[in-house]
Structure 1
Amino acid sequence: MVDAKKDIISQLQKDILLWEGFKPPPPGAAGLAGLGPVEGAFPNGVFPAGAVHEFLSTEPEHAAAAGGFINGLLSALMQQGGACLWISQSRTLFPPALKTFGVEPDRIIFIDLKKEKDVLWATEEALKCEGLAAVVAEVREISFTESRRLQLAVEQSRVTGFILRGVTRKLSTTACVARWKITPLPSELEADMPGVGHPRWNVELLKVRNGSPGVWKMEWAAGQFNMIAEPVAEEMLHEERWAG
């Protein structure tokens, strides 16, 4: 009797996740390269493609960091084909920089519009196009109703949507499956090598539906995401030995 109840509850949980847009991965499916523990924060332990993700930015440099992180996600999402639409009012992305993340700039279609309401309308229509791999929209304000319309669109098309929000007057609840905040971290140069190091971020998953929010430090290197290991406290141990 107890086992039967557990089976019923388990099936109900799976059904609820399906209704909310979380589909279990097909057998043998691989996750996004290097996301590792971040994917474990989501239901089914897999980054939810075919859903809408919201990224918050409070400073211009945060928006740039979020854009870089999204480019890394696009690299994985576009491996199976399909283009991406990037919709905004005042685009600041430098297209050649996409190659850093393994994305060819000619596979990104940029749409620049004058009004934010037009950005939201174009985003909703784009998310209905099954032939696209992803849609990125830069907006400041988005209501729950507007975000719900976007989420309903992707539940039919299975296109992944990214809402990159700039400085907003009011942080409202949205229907997006996850809310992220990406901030830049100093890069680390290799010994005796000039220039700049690999892009690094502090990745905060602030909210995730039926998942576990968390914070991780990551970088993009060798064509994939990599977790930044916490430094071993050798120096602290050395100091303790001297102090002892």
Structure 2
Amino acid sequence: MPTHLLSRKPSRDVPGLDLHPDIRLATGRVHEACGSARRSFALWLAGRFCERKAGPVLWISPAWEAGQLNPDGMMEFADPARFLFVQPRRAEDLLWCTEEALRSGAVPLVVADLPGAPALTPVRRMHLAAEQGGQMGHAPIGLLLTPGEGGAQGTESRWHMTPAHDGQARRWRLERRRARTLPPARWLACQTRPRTGLHLSRTEVPDT
């Protein structure tokens, strides 16, 4: 279902972190990234925080998952030494850890690598926690990584990213599928050199 514009307020007026002139993630809010390259999206975002020396990035993931982040792969986007990793052993602790980390305001970016999309109530609690964290210092950003097509309810925005590599060229397809004040959009993202972020070119807008 397409997302309708709720406001004509320019995105430049919203406090947040810019990934691109057309892409800003609001601080003090929780966003969602899905798709097979969702972790690449998260590392791209983390790399921007590392460039600004904004503090460590907290990455929360299930202890029972066999696949964990590989430092060699992370190096393409950000310094692995700038990350703190938390691996809860119980499913119910994943969202609790995310909420408490946002509330503390101790880190600017909290990434929660989840096995499934959370319901509306936990997301609302995380929004409130992120707002409270902003009162302790700089408002953090929460990013929920969900498998497949995602579907977390109540997030500020939803991003879908999949690989589109061509030979040695590192490329991805990025979609903004949901945002409170912006319409859906698509980009082709490419990386020319490690730790230089991604270069985006606008492609066709998804059918509504």
Pairwise same-fold verdict (TM > 0.5):
yes
Q: Of residues 192, 198, 201 in structure 2, which corresponds to 1:225?
A: 198
Q: Which amino acid aligns with 1:24?
A: D
Query: Could you tell me which residue of structure 1 aligns to residue 13 of structure 2?
Result: 24
Q: Could you tell me how far 1:72 is from its partner in structure 2?
A: 0.9
Distance 1:160 1:173, change over 3 A: closer
Distance 1:23 1:80, change over 3 A: farther
**Alignment TM-score, normalising by the size of structure 1:** 0.67
Query: Could you tell me which residue of structure 2 aligns to residue 215 of structure 1?
Result: 186
**Alignment TM-score, normalising by the size of structure 2:** 0.77
Query: Could you tell me which residue of structure 2 aligns to residue 53 of structure 1?
Result: 31
Q: Could you tell me how far 1:183 is from its partner in structure 2?
A: 0.8
Q: Of residues 54, 65, 69 in structure 2, which corresponds to 1:81?
A: 54
- The number of equivalent residue pairs is 185
Query: Could you tell me which residue of structure 2 aligns to residue 177 of structure 1?
Result: 156
Whether the 8 Å CA contact 1:72–1:220 is kept in 2: the answer is no
The structure in which a higher percent of residues are strand is 2
SS of 1:224's equivalent in the other structure is: coil
Q: Could you tell me how far 1:50 is from its partner in structure 2?
A: 3.2
Q: Of residues 40, 49, 52 in structure 2, which corresponds to 1:68?
A: 40
Q: Once the two structures are superposed, what CA deviation does each residue of 1:160-181 show, in whole Å capped at 9, x if it has no partner?
A: 111001258xx65512100111
Q: Comparing both chains, which one has the higher relative contact order based on Cα–Cα distances under 8 Å and sequence gaps of 6 or more?
A: 2
Unaligned segments of structure 1, at least 5 residues: 1-11, 40-45, 189-195, 231-244
Q: Once the two structures are superposed, what CA deviation does each residue of 1:197-229 show, in whole Å capped at 9, x if it has no partner?
A: 33x111011110011211111112331210247
Query: Could you tell me which residue of structure 2 aligns to residue 191 of structure 1?
Result: none
Give the distance between the partners of 2:126 and 2:12, measured in 1 at CA: 17
Q: Could you tell me how far 1:130 is from its partner in structure 2?
A: 1.7
Q: Could you tell me how far 1:152 is from its partner in structure 2?
A: 1.1
SS of 2:75's equivalent in the other structure is: helix
Give the distance between the partners of 2:109 and 2:103, measured in 1 at CA: 11
Give the distance between the partners of 2:25 and 2:169, measured in 1 at CA: 27
Q: Once the two structures are superposed, what CA deviation does each residue of 1:180-206 show, in whole Å capped at 9, x if it has no partner?
A: 111110234xxxxxxx333x1110111
Give the distance between the partners of 1:210 and 1:202, measured in 2 at CA: 22
Q: Identity of counterpart residues, as a percentage?
A: 28
Q: Could you tell me how far 1:122 is from its partner in structure 2?
A: 0.5
Distance 1:156 1:187, change over 3 A: farther
The structure in which a higher percent of residues are helix is 1
Query: Could you tell me which residue of structure 1 aligns to residue 107 of structure 2?
Result: 132
Matched, 1:118 2:93: yes
Give the distance between the partners of 1:71 and 1:160, measured in 2 at CA: 13
Distance 1:96 1:172, change over 3 A: closer
Query: Could you tell me which residue of structure 2 aligns to residue 92 of structure 1?
Result: 68
Query: Could you tell me which residue of structure 1 aligns to residue 21 of structure 2?
Result: 36
Q: Could you list the structure 1 runs, at least 4 aligned residues long, displaced by more than 6 angstroms after superposition.
A: none
Matched, 1:144 2:120: yes
